[in-house]
Amino acid sequence: MAKLAGSRARSPEASALLRALPSVEELAAALAGLPHALAVKAAREAIDARRSALLENGGPLTGTLEEDARARAAASARPSLRPVINATGVIVHTNLGRAPLARTAIEAAASVAQGYSNLEYDLPEGRRGSRHAHAEALLRELTGAEAALVVNNCAAAALLACAALAAGRELVVSRGELIEIGGSFRVPEVVAQSGARLVEVGTTNRTRLSDYEGALGPDTGAVMRAHPSNFRTVGFTEAVEIEELCAAAGRAAVPVIDDVGSGALAEGVPEIAEEPPVRRSVAAGAAVTCFSGDKLLGGPQAGLMVGTRVAIERCRAHPLARAVRVDKLSLAALEATLRLYRDPRAALAEIPVLRMLTATEPELRVRAERMRESLQAAGVGAEVLTAEAKVGGGALPLLELEGPVCAVDPGAVGLDELAARLRAGEPPVVARAREGWLLLDPRTLTDAEARATADAVVAALASS
């Protein structure tokens, strides 16, 4: 019979090796100490890989099947979600989990995770309580709002507010605020899902108060503002301040929903001065102000809603509220984070995001120089250069935080290969590249992480 086109003649040696492959059960039995199911899975994958390699290469291969199977078992047993060292200089790195939590927030989450809690139990009264009570008082205190509600993220907060206040009616939004945030999440689609009818006013670059006033009518359910967190329109532009908008909407008895995005609660931090303060929207009279818990606030993933008692109660009573409710671990971490904001100095010192934003040049230089010294002592080429860090997470897109970084010369290994080896390490290290250098930014590293990062670079280059 003629061979198929493209087939490869199998050498006698390859045929012998194929025949010598053990059964899955035989190899699994040799993997002593592993759970049976994991051993079988690893054995099957190792044998399949060896068979494919023999058919492809037609000759002997390095390493034993048992070594390969054990390596596969170890990889399979390792958690998929695990800690990463962020050396990129992007503070609120969406791909790396956004905001790291303060120590007290971590402890609070761990405390309620290890047993039962009073999540929905009123201890003084001895009866069913509400999960919404745990953070509401703090949010009211910190923002000046009459009421507050916590859901699982800011997108959910915006969706719930639109559904509760404007479903079946018109929702007025400036054309310049029909934005898209990460993951192709678009304001018009949020409005559609809420059941409201979108009414666009103004133009992409200019919306006046008269545009809003002309759109308000008997069928208007609400007016919505959406902060363009991840971009800026500059030049010939005009927008309506929240105070003017709330006053005009109030005269027409129409509530205002203000999605301010990243959650700027900290006071006296110049780096976040361009973000809309939550307190300002509340004071202006917005019915619901929505913001994130895991961006500039520096807490866990959550969508925070503060505003008037009537509007928040409508949101709380809406059926969608249960679908987007927050879990106990996030609530515990959020409550602990909010408590830190009672003392602005404690917030700046203990909340990692705020600490990174306000890190001084001397502090960063010391950390960068220590990494350089450690690398050079191991024979690795490294220098301290100046580069720009970013806030990330869709916040403050124009802000560049200039500071010293440790720049590593990848040498013969090459930039891409060195970065790949660092990502494959334990823990993985993620850095950024610039003009042939691998940059290690001390802004997003603790002292301990900086030492671990330098050690990881030395190990990665030594593996050559």
Write out pLDDT tens, residues 5-36.
Answer: 444 566 777 788 888 899 999 999 999 999 99
Q: Would you state the pLDDT for residue 5?
A: 41
Q: Report DSSP state, residue 343.
A: S
Total residues found in the chain within this entry: 464
- Burial class for 221, CB neighbours closer than 10 Å (0-12, 13-18, 19+): buried
Interval 213-227 mean pLDDT: 95
CB 69 within 8 A of CB 49: no
Q: 382 pLDDT exceeds 90?
A: yes
The string of pLDDT tens digits covering residues 276-298 is 899 999 999 999 999 999 999 99
Residue 9's pLDDT is 60
> Which pair of structure tokens corresponds to residue 301?
């993933």
Evaluate if residue 4 carries a pLDDT over 60.
no
For the residues 227-242, what does the mean pLDDT come to? 81
Closest listed residue to residue 425, CA positions, set 403, 398, 456: 456
State the first-to-last Cα distance of the chain, in angstroms, to the nearest integer. 48
Domains of the chain: 15-77 (no CATH), 85-94+356-462 (3.90.1150.180), 103-350 (3.40.640.10)
- Across the range 351-364, mean pLDDT stands at 95
Mean pLDDT in residue range 147-151: 98
What pLDDT was estimated at residue 7?
46
Instruction: Express each pLDDT in 315-346 by its tens digit.
Output: 999 999 999 999 999 999 999 999 999 999 99
Question: Rounded distance, CA 14 to CA 59, Å?
Answer: 5
CA distance 215 to 234: 25
Helices (H), 147-241: 154-166, 187-194, 209-215
Does the pLDDT value for residue 1 go beyond 60? no
Helix (H, G, I), strand (E, B) or coil at 442: helix
CB neighbours of 153 closer than 8 A, spacing ≥ 6? 292, 294, 301, 302, 303, 324
Residue 378 is classified by DSSP as: T
The pLDDT of residue 184: 64
Confidence band, pLDDT 50/70/90 cuts, at residue 263? confident
The residue-averaged pLDDT of 48-64 equals: 79
In degrees rounded to 5, what are phi and psi of residue 245? -65, -45
Asked whether the predicted pLDDT for residue 155 surpasses 50, the reply is yes
Provide the 10 A C-beta neighbour count for residue 349. Answer: 13
Residue 56, pLDDT above cutoff 90: no
Which DSSP string do the residues of 222-287 spell out, in sequence order?
EEEEE--TT----SS-B---HHHHHHHHHHTT--EEEEEES-B--SS-GGGTTSPBHHHHHHHT-S
pLDDT of residue 60: 58
3-state secondary structure of 411: helix
Mean pLDDT, range 400-419, rounded to an integer? 95
Dihedral angle of Cα 75, 76, 78, 80, to the nearest 10 degrees: 110
Mean pLDDT of the chain: 91
Say what the pLDDT of residue 271 is. 82
Identify the CA nearest to 226 among candidates 173, 270, 262, 165. Answer: 173
For the segment 74-91, what is each residue's pLDDT rounded down to a tens digit?
988 888 999 999 999 999
Encode 93-131: b = buried (16+ Cβ within 10 Å), e = exposed.
beebebbbbbebbeebbeebeeeebeeeeeeeeeeebeb
Please give the distance of CA 63 from its chain centroid, rounded to a whole number.
40
Looking at residue 232, what is its pLDDT? 72
Residue 65 CA to residue 27 CA, distance in Å, equals 8
Lowest mean pLDDT among 37-51, 178-192, 347-361: 178-192
Q: What b-and-e string marks burial along 272-305, b requiring 16 or more CB atoms within 10 Å of the CB?
A: beebbbbbbbbebbbbbbbbbbbbbbbbbbbbbb
Question: Residue 8: what pLDDT?
Answer: 55
At 201 the pLDDT is 95
Residue 53 has pLDDT above 90, yes or no: no
> How confident is residue 38, by pLDDT bands cut at 50, 70 and 90?
very high
Q: Give the separation between CA 7 and CA 350, rounded to whole angstroms.
A: 64
